[in-house]
């Protein structure tokens, strides 16, 4: 069964009753997925009509969620089961149809058609990474080499990497663009060694490659032989002036187990980070996504979602899809009450992950002071500075209000919190040391 369809089915399974699932979804057969249309087959025309009328929205939402972008769903009436089996036995007619955008050879990868620059919403949090990616895509190996993009999960690194590949291939289809995840690269090294095919491996990644895109390169850390192969690959491509783009969940200096020689090479070109998007950007991303998936999303719901889910764009998109499916299944309009109800679990788990207390603990450890001091009254800079930064981070990364933050910092007045937050905001703009400090802390926040 097709992986996207399978994932879509799984997400439907969690949203409908077992009986409904068995009645309406289990009988659907995957036929094919191409040109943005997921085709499903049923035996009975009446049944087909019924599913079409009642479940198209849900199917579309689940398919879009699974595929990471809008898909149309078409339900066709096929041959009855016995006949189908006969076809399957006799010949290739019933063979699985091709996947979308089949790879020409395995040095090409099925690019996600939605991960383009045009579909990437730019805001202050990702502006730099976006601009760097575009400039590399427009002038491979002339702008920055390598380009190293890092940021937390679900913030658009893979999206940008695919966008670079799309753009390079659009401008020059003869470019041999190799996209590989760090995980897959490791697998291929292992396979190459065990089958004594390292020559083939090297040909593929060195001579046979004009642009190398490695997603999640941090997973190479701690894998000695893979790092060694990657080191030589990197050197060969870099010397031949081939563009290299890497993504990682951390800044090179902060990847434990990464060899020094790779660490230094990762910093040869340009390093760009992606941060969690600001509220306005989150709202814009939601609206873009809703438009694409034809979900009617009232502004106040977009704001509600964006206010409550802030650290991960993937989670934000997932919440939208979930909400749309929930509304369509229950036949209720998209209201805030419905949103609250549908997203209860998601919101709870996110709230647990990042609290005022967890930020206090992190900041206290970072500056080597006591949490009690952060909550205390001492005004000495050694304490006051970490305290201000902790307040700033709480304001930015939790939903706590100024008075709530003051309360949890030992009962301080909200005006004290406001003053501290403003001071840090100003310092970030004028003092690189403070900015670096804050960014280092933000990278340590649990994602």
In the complex, which residues of this chain contact Mg ion (CB under 5 A)? 157-158
Q: Of the candidates 12, 39, 116, 126, which one interacts with ligand ADP according to CB under 6 A?
A: 126
By CB under 6 A, tell whether 120 contacts ligand ADP. Answer: yes
Q: Hey, what are 424's tokens? A: 């840090």
Minimal distance, residue 227 CB to ligand ADP, in Å: 21
- If the CB atoms of residues 84 and 287 are measured against ligand ADP, the closer one turns out to be 287
Could you write out the DSSP letters of every residue in 282-302? HHHHHHHHHHHTT----HHHH
Q: Which among 116-124, 167-175, 224-232, 400-408 is the span making contact with ligand ADP, rule CB under 6 A?
A: 116-124
Q: Of the candidates 153, 355, 358, 399, which one interacts with ligand ADP according to CB under 6 A?
A: 153
Preceding amide of 319 cis, omega within 30: no
Q: How far apart, in Å, are the Cα atoms of 228 and each of 3, 63, 179, 211, 293?
A: 33, 40, 19, 19, 44
By CB under 6 A, tell whether 317 contacts ligand ADP. Answer: yes
Preceding amide of 146 cis, omega within 30: yes
Q: Hey, what are 29's tokens? A: 């057969």
DSSP symbol at 148: E
Minimal distance, residue 317 CB to Mg ion, in Å: 13
- How many Cβ atoms from other residues are within 10 Å of residue 372's Cβ? 10
Helix 432-444 × helix 381-397 angle, to 10°: 60
C-alpha torsion sign, points 250, 254, 256, 261: positive
Pairwise CA distance, residues 315 & 211, whole Å? 30
By CB under 6 A, tell whether 182 contacts ligand ADP. Answer: no
Minimal distance, residue 68 CB to Mg ion, in Å: 10
Measured in degrees and rounded to the nearest 5, phi and psi for residue 393 equal: -65, -35
Minimal distance, residue 125 CB to ligand ADP, in Å: 8
Encoded one letter per residue, x for contact with ligand ADP by CB under 6 A and - for no contact, window 245-284 reads ----------------------------------------
Q: Of the candidates 39, 60, 159, 385, which one interacts with ligand ADP according to CB under 6 A?
A: 159
Q: Residue 174: which residues within 8 A CB-CB, separation 6 or more?
A: none
Minimal distance, residue 127 CB to ligand ADP, in Å: 10
Q: Which among 2-10, 57-65, 150-158, 255-263 is the span making contact with ligand ADP, rule CB under 6 A?
A: 150-158
Closest residue to ligand ADP: CB criterion: 156
Strands 147-151 and 177-181: unpaired
- If the CB atoms of residues 211 and 316 are measured against ligand ADP, the closer one turns out to be 316
- How many Cβ atoms from other residues are within 10 Å of residue 188's Cβ? 20
By CB under 6 A, tell whether 68 contacts ligand ADP. Answer: yes
Q: Which among 10-18, 156-164, 180-188, 360-368 is the span making contact with ligand ADP, rule CB under 6 A?
A: 156-164
CA R_g for the chain: 25
Q: How many helices (H) does the chain have, and how many strands (E)?
A: 21, 8
By CB under 6 A, tell whether 155 contacts ligand ADP. Answer: yes
Minimal distance, residue 70 CB to Mg ion, in Å: 19
Measured in degrees and rounded to the nearest 5, phi and psi for residue 44 equal: -110, 125
Minimal distance, residue 317 CB to ligand ADP, in Å: 5
Pairwise CA distance, residues 204 & 186, whole Å? 14
By CB under 6 A, tell whether 314 contacts ligand ADP. Answer: yes
Closest residue to Mg ion: CB criterion: 158
Q: How far is CA 116 from the centre of its chain?
A: 14
Minimal distance, residue 72 CB to ligand ADP, in Å: 18
Q: Hey, what are 210's tokens? A: 């004009």
Q: Which does 23 bind (CB under 5 to 8 A by kind): Mg ion, ligand ADP, none?
A: none
- If the CB atoms of residues 141 and 309 are measured against ligand ADP, the closer one turns out to be 309
Minimal distance, residue 428 CB to ligand ADP, in Å: 22
By CB under 6 A, tell whether 313 contacts ligand ADP. Answer: yes
Measured in degrees and rounded to the nearest 5, phi and psi for residue 213 equal: -115, 115
- If the CB atoms of residues 217 and 359 are measured against ligand ADP, the closer one turns out to be 217
Using CB under 6 A, list all residues that contact ligand ADP: 68, 115, 119-121, 126, 153-159, 285, 313-314, 317
């Amino acid at each position: 069964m097709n992986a996207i369809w399978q994932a879509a089915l799984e997400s439907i399974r969690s949203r409908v009753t077992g009986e409904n699932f068995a009645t309406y979804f289990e009988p659907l057969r995957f036929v094919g997925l191409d040109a943005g249309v997921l085709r499903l087959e049923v035996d009975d025309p009446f049944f087909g009509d019924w599913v079409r009328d009642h479940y198209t929205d849900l199917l579309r939402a689940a398919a879009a969620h699974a595929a990471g972008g809008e898909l149309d769903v078409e339900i066709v009436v096929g041959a009855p089961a016995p006949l189908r089996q006969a076809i399957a036995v006799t010949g290739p007619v019933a063979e699985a149809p091709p996947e979308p955008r089949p790879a020409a050879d395995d040095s090409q990868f099925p690019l996600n058609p939605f991960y383009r620059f045009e579909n990437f919403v730019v805001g202050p949090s990702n502006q730099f990474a976006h601009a760097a990616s575009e400039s590399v895509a427009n002038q491979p190996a002339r702008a920055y080499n390598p380009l190293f993009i890092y940021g937390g999960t679900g913030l658009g690194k893979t999206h940008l990497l695919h966008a670079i590949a799309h753009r390079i291939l659009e401008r020059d289809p003869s470019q041999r663009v190799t996209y590989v995840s760090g995980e897959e690269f490791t697998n291929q090294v292992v396979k190459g060694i065990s089958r004594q095919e390292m020559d083939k491996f090297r040909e593929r990644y060195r001579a046979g490659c004009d642009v190398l895109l490695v997603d999640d390169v941090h997973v190479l850390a701690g894998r000695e032989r893979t790092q060694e192969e990657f080191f030589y690959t990197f050197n060969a491509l870099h010397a031949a002036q081939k563009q290299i783009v890497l993504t990682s969940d951390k800044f090179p200096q902060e990847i434990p187990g990464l060899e020094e020689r790779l660490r230094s090479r990762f910093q040869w070109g340009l390093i760009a980070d992606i941060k969690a998007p600001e509220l306005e950007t989150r709202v814009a991303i939601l609206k873009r996504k809703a438009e694409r998936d034809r979900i009617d999303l009232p502004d106040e719901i977009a704001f509600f979602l964006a206010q409550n889910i802030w650290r991960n764009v993937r989670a934000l998109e997932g919440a939208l899809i979930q909400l749309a499916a929930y509304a369509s299944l229950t036949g209720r309009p998209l209201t805030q009450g419905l949103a609250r109800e549908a997203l209860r679990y998601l919101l709870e788990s996110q709230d647990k992950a990042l609290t005022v207390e967890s930020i206090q603990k992190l900041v206290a450890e970072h500056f080597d002071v006591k949490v009690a001091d952060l909550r205390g009254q001492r005004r000495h800079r050694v304490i006051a500075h970490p305290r201000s930064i902790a307040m700033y981070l709480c304001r930015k990364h939790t939903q706590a209000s100024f008075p709530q933050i003051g309360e949890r910092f030992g009962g301080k007045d909200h005006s004290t919190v406001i003053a501290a937050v403003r001071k840090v905001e100003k310092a970030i703009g004028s003092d690189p040391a403070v900015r670096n400090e804050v960014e280092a802390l933000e990278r340590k926040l649990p994602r």
